[in-house]
Amino acid sequence: MPTKHEQIIRHIEDLDVGAKISVRQIAKDLTVSEGTAYRAIKEAENLGFVSTIERVGTIRIKKKQKENIEKLTFAEVVNIVDGQVLGGRNGLHKTLTKFVIGAMKLEAMMRYIDVDSLVIIGNREKAHELVLEAGAAVLITGGFDTTEDAKRLADEIELPIISTSYDTFTVATMINRAIYDRLIKKEILLVSDILIPLHDTFYLQTNDPISRWHELNEQTKHNRYPVIDEQMKVVGVVTAKDIIDRPHDWPVEKVMTRHPITVGIRTSVTNSAHQMVWEGIEMLPVIDQYGRLLGIISRQDVLKALQLANRQPQVGETFDDLITGQIKTAEDDRGQYLSLEVSPQMTNFMGTASSGVLTTLLVEGATRMLRHMKKGDLVIENVSIYFIKPVQIESTITIRANVFDVGRKFGKVDVEMYQGTQIVAKALVTSQLIDR
């Protein structure tokens, strides 16, 4: 029997895209407390199919698929620019295809406008109506209003008119930043990308006899299976060591490992790899927000995905990319080393390299050295920093790594950072090595 929370989530999922959602109405319709309704609505917002907009309310939106995650809904634009909706609220759930800055004559501007685009424009009231007639939404900068005719037209065609107090340049920068952040997220491999779906997954039920484990083992050659209850919720895992010397007619519930490690479909593959390596397991059950089995991921598929990701070109650039992208590799009589100049972006308010940047560089030095030696994948397990000294802006620093203990499954690296001949940071980095 689903919980009240689960019932509310399903109810919200069944609502039409664009429908308004109210805590009071949900509580009344499903006979739950307003607190329970509020928590479920927030959960739905986290799951990506509900959006809350100031002065408008909460609305059901279409959940984005990974392939179009870089696109924004008009509702999200309202939140990004701290906007006010002047008209066309029923179109807030729609996805904009592109945005256009309307800083030109009307005739020239109209050539760049497509259906469902967003035109950023000032207090040019005639242009507002023409843009709407062309099938595009309007974002008015400078906090200006528009005509009543434009508002009525926006309501009729269900395309929003949004007003923001920011100027055009600031608005364009804010929207670009939001799209850019989504591109970075799009590159991150998630469990959903490598999931073995439920219909291809072998699992056991709590009342299955141990003999059923032997049947699956003979069929698949695997030795680890998730165990589910009557509601399809994962309640345990059974492995070969759990059933050794156990009678074949015992139920698996009696021997299974309870409270197993699981992951959700939004968990990153890197995080899953770390758990698998750390715990020494070959399979992880994948569950939904209710704990129900969606499928599994295998260690082999995780490693393949990580190797493929390493060969893909980057679209979005993170702070780590900005830092490590400036590193140059060189070699002298002491061996290979890394060097770079401390740029303004790497500094703190005192004009010295931030501790976070220096830590990233120490880890990067250790990682590159291990990969050079082992030609494989690795997961950083521990970073012990002995000391860090201030490093002035525009200083050139060098990083030298010495692998002093390496095995088939682990590596330990001593990393030193120099400014000139003076040592400014030192760390010990331990990592788990993953065989390809």
Rounded Cα distance between 176 and 165, Å, is: 18
Query: Please, is 124 exposed, middle or buried when counting C-beta atoms within 10 Å of its C-beta (0-12, 13-18, 19+)?
Result: middle
pLDDT, tens only, 184-227:
555 567 888 888 888 888 999 999 999 999 999 898 888 899 99
User: In this model, does residue 2 exceed pLDDT 70?
Assistant: no
Instruction: Give 211's Cβ-side CA count (13 Å radius).
Output: 5
Rounded Cα distance between 393 and 285, Å, is: 48
Q: What is the mean pLDDT of the chain?
A: 85
Please calculate the CA angle 158-163-164 and round it to the nearest 5 degrees: 140
Model confidence, pTM: 0.51
Cβ neighbors of 337 (< 8 A, separation 6 or more) are 329, 330, 331, 398, 399, 400
Are β-strands 224-228 and 234-239 bridged in parallel, bridged antiparallel, or unpaired? antiparallel
Does residue 77 contact residue 139 with C-beta atoms inside 8 Å? yes
The band of 62, judged by pLDDT with boundaries at 50, 70 and 90, is: confident
User: In this model, does residue 407 exceed pLDDT 90?
Assistant: no
User: In this model, does residue 108 exceed pLDDT 60?
Assistant: yes
Nearest to 194 by CA among 261, 266, 260: 266
User: In this model, does residue 38 exceed pLDDT 70?
Assistant: yes
- What contacts 24+ positions apart, CB below 8 Å, involve 149-154? 150/86, 150/87, 150/125, 151/86, 151/87, 151/88, 152/87, 153/87, 153/129, 154/86, 154/87, 154/88, 154/91
Helix (H, G, I), strand (E, B) or coil at 79: helix
Nearest to 73 by CA among 94, 87, 56: 94
Rounded Cα distance between 15 and 36, Å, is: 18
- DSSP one-letter code for 227: E
Rounded Cα distance between 48 and 12, Å, is: 12
pLDDT, tens only, 112-149:
888 888 999 988 998 999 999 999 999 999 999 999 99
For the ranges 161-165, 322-326, 365-369, the lowest mean pLDDT is seen at 322-326
Q: Which residue has the higher pLDDT, 373 or 423?
A: 423
Please report the pLDDT score of residue 138 as a whole number.
Answer: 94
Within its chain, how far is the Cα of 178 from the centroid?
A: 13
Rounded Cα distance between 253 and 230, Å, is: 13
pLDDT, tens only, 275-284:
887 777 889 9
Q: Position of tokens 């299976």?
A: 225
Please report the pLDDT score of residue 4 as a whole number.
Answer: 83
pLDDT, tens only, 343-364:
888 888 888 999 999 999 999 9
The order of strands in the sheet holding 137-140 is: 84-87, 161-163, 137-140, 118-121, 99-101
